[in-house]
Structure 1
């Protein structure tokens, strides 16, 4: 089994050491590099092409959000999890817009840290249901008149799945609502993401609200 390759980016040596110890106990995870600032993180990620970068937000010089944009601008296949001690919505939404696949507070458990690496490495998004609800609430705020816009490249069923995603529904909930099997739902979700050029289901939620697929307050 090939280990998942991880780069740690944090300006605090002690934090990186703690993460390294936690991840180092897992057979399927290998820490291949460490960076103390955003610019070094970009250089390491571009050179090493890890599976996952665990990225702090506040670092000297280039911050974690800008570093994420630079890394994914060159190598969109790399997955980035934003790590921060600050439970701030502006960090959350900027992280999503930067292309990050996850957002994790530093007070998360060691088990959550390990699982975050595995989750984003397999192509899924790392956002708790609570955070997803915050995304929905943010984009449901009134912003003036907006007409519903249906992406023309989606089939009727794919459009229904996108609308359900925008409400924060799980695959199981979508399956029950649309009378489909969960495997079929997963296939539809995958096609929606591919056709709309979205990284994961969380970005599908953001897309739906920003592009008027779902009207504000309709969730």
Structure 2
């Protein structure tokens, strides 16, 4: 039986190396690539064609959610497991909406991590009962907001940036708050302006409030 080819993406060297070491101990798992940001993860997927990607959520250059969306669009056969050190519902929900197969907390026991990879490789998903409940609750409470935001086709991440922008935060502050690079924030803001058909921050904030995207 062929090994499961895995690519690991995490911006923390220590986590990247430790995951590499513990997973390499399993005979049926082969680490084919390591990436320190979302862009490297996409490049690694194109180069190594892994079966499964372990994808950190918060990374510089491009975050794990954006990278997941692009990988799933270009290479839908690659399975993606989001790695998170906290229960960040919105980020996980966004990744799942782009087609990720589930998520695991970084604090998970190595044995359970390997088991999770095997489940996803075999066609299963990794969503806890708790996350499923949060997803249903989140969908119910945010339905109106998403319906209104979807009039303009805004993504979850774009709504987050829009919230920060409307609060008066500068690009640098938004970048720090959302663990993004300033360049990525500028790209998001340009896309938001384009989708809302506005030319500036004040106009974007006003339109978002008037249309009910921002409560």
Do the structures match in fold with TM over 0.5?
yes
What secondary structure is seen at the aligned counterpart in 2 of 1:31? strand
**Pairwise CA distance, 1:117:** 0.7
Q: For 2:95 and 2:119, locate their aligned partners in 1 and report how far apart those are by CA, in whole Å.
A: 17
Q: For 2:55 and 2:104, locate their aligned partners in 1 and report how far apart those are by CA, in whole Å.
A: 10
* Change in 2 beyond 3 A, CA 1:108/1:140: same
Q: How does 1:106-145 map to 2 (within 5 A)?
A: 106-141=106-141, 143=143
Which digits, 9 at most, give the CA deviation of each residue in 1:120-146, with x for residues without a partner?
1111111112211222222244857xx
Structure 1 runs of 4+ aligned residues shifted over 3 Å read: 140-144
Q: Gaps spanning 5+ residues in structure 1: where?
A: 145-219
2:52 alignment partner in structure 1: 52
Q: For 2:129 and 2:143, locate their aligned partners in 1 and report how far apart those are by CA, in whole Å.
A: 24
Does the CA-based 8 Å contact 2:120-2:126 persist in structure 1? yes
* Change in 2 beyond 3 A, CA 1:138/1:34: same
1:68 alignment partner in structure 2: 68
Q: How does 1:30-45 map to 2 (within 5 A)?
A: 30-45=30-45
Q: For 1:87 and 1:65, locate their aligned partners in 2 and report how far apart those are by CA, in whole Å.
A: 15
- How many positions carry a matched residue from both structures? 144
1:9 alignment partner in structure 2: 9
Q: Gaps spanning 5+ residues in structure 2: where?
A: 145-215
Q: For 1:76 and 1:25, locate their aligned partners in 2 and report how far apart those are by CA, in whole Å.
A: 28
Moved more, 35-44 or 89-98: 89-98
Which digits, 9 at most, give the CA deviation of each residue in 1:76-134, with x for residues without a partner?
00000010112111112111112110111111111221111111111111111221122
* Change in 2 beyond 3 A, CA 1:97/1:143: closer
TM-score by length of 1: 0.63
Q: How does 1:11-30 map to 2 (within 5 A)?
A: 11-30=11-30
Query: By percentage of residues, which structure has more helix?
Result: 2
Does the CA-based 8 Å contact 2:89-2:131 persist in structure 1? no
TM-score by length of 2: 0.64
Q: How does 1:132-211 map to 2 (within 5 A)?
A: 132-141=132-141, 143=143
